[in-house]
Amino acid sequence: MIKFFRNIRRKLHRENRFTRYLIYAIGEIILVVIGILIALQINNWNETQKEIQASREFILEIREDLVKDTILLVGQIKFLEEQIKLDKKVLSEINYTLDDATLLNKSIDRNLRDFSLNDQAFTSMNNAGYVGLVGFEGLFKDIKDHYYITRGNFNRLRDWQISEAQKDQVEDLGLTQNYELSYAFYQELLGIDFLSDSLPELPNREIQSNYLIKKFQSIEGRNYLKYNYAKHLVLNRFWKMFLQFTIDLIEKIDSELTRSNA
């Protein structure tokens, strides 16, 4: 093709047909420019497709992290709802008997459950220098808000929960001097199974149980139970809110991925 145009150009030049030669030369330049523009357009399209695919891969990884978060939050909500049932059961009584000692033992707050949102994919995206997601610009803002705003609020509430659980409330109630806490209490508090051996406890459980009952029938003990009940209600409400935020973002991601495939 190039040889063909070159022959025409030489023929026009030999015949000294300058006007036609000039028109031809301009046309040839235009064709070359059009070819370059087409090549650039194709190259830009290919690069854009690569960026869109990279964005999709990050979004799928973020979605996987969000699904893990829903599992964590559902587990935390289930745990809190069990605590709330226990709180209500204990508070529904005023005069306890020895049969209630085990229930009262369980009502001592041990809500030390430290967990964090999964943000590995979002962190990797930031570390890679991404300031947007090509083809998913609107979704990128939702994802960024989730990890910067929602996660920030989540971390503050989680830190408050941990600080509350770490308070020496058992010491405040004076239980350590007068009541031998069960091994199961410490096992659940610490979250590890260190009680594989059968270890003895003091034999005077009835005396200790009576002390525990007396303590929880006092104003101090009732206020302790009420505070834990209120705290569990607040935490449960916020964990449910964060769970809904996470589910909503997963649904937005699914909708955007479906749209991009259309």
Which of these, 91, 86, 59, lies nearest to 249 by C-alpha position?
59
User: Is the predicted pLDDT of residue 119 greater than 80, yes or no?
Assistant: yes
Average pLDDT, integer, range 57-67: 93
pLDDT higher than 80, residue 258: yes
| Residue 84: predicted pLDDT | 92
Token pair 């705003």 is found at: 149
Least confident span in 60-64, 187-191, 210-214, 232-236: 187-191
Give the residue with greater pLDDT, 28 vs 124: 124
Domain ranges of the chain: 2-261
pLDDT of residue 209: 80
Q: Mutual orientation of helices 219-261 and 151-166 as an angle, nearest 10°? A: 160
pTM of the model: 0.71
At 25 the pLDDT is 60
Closest C-alpha among 202, 198, 217 to residue 107 = 217
Place of tokens 């022959």: 7
- Greater confidence (182 vs 90) lies with 90
Contact in structure between 113 and 76 (CB atoms under 8 Å): yes
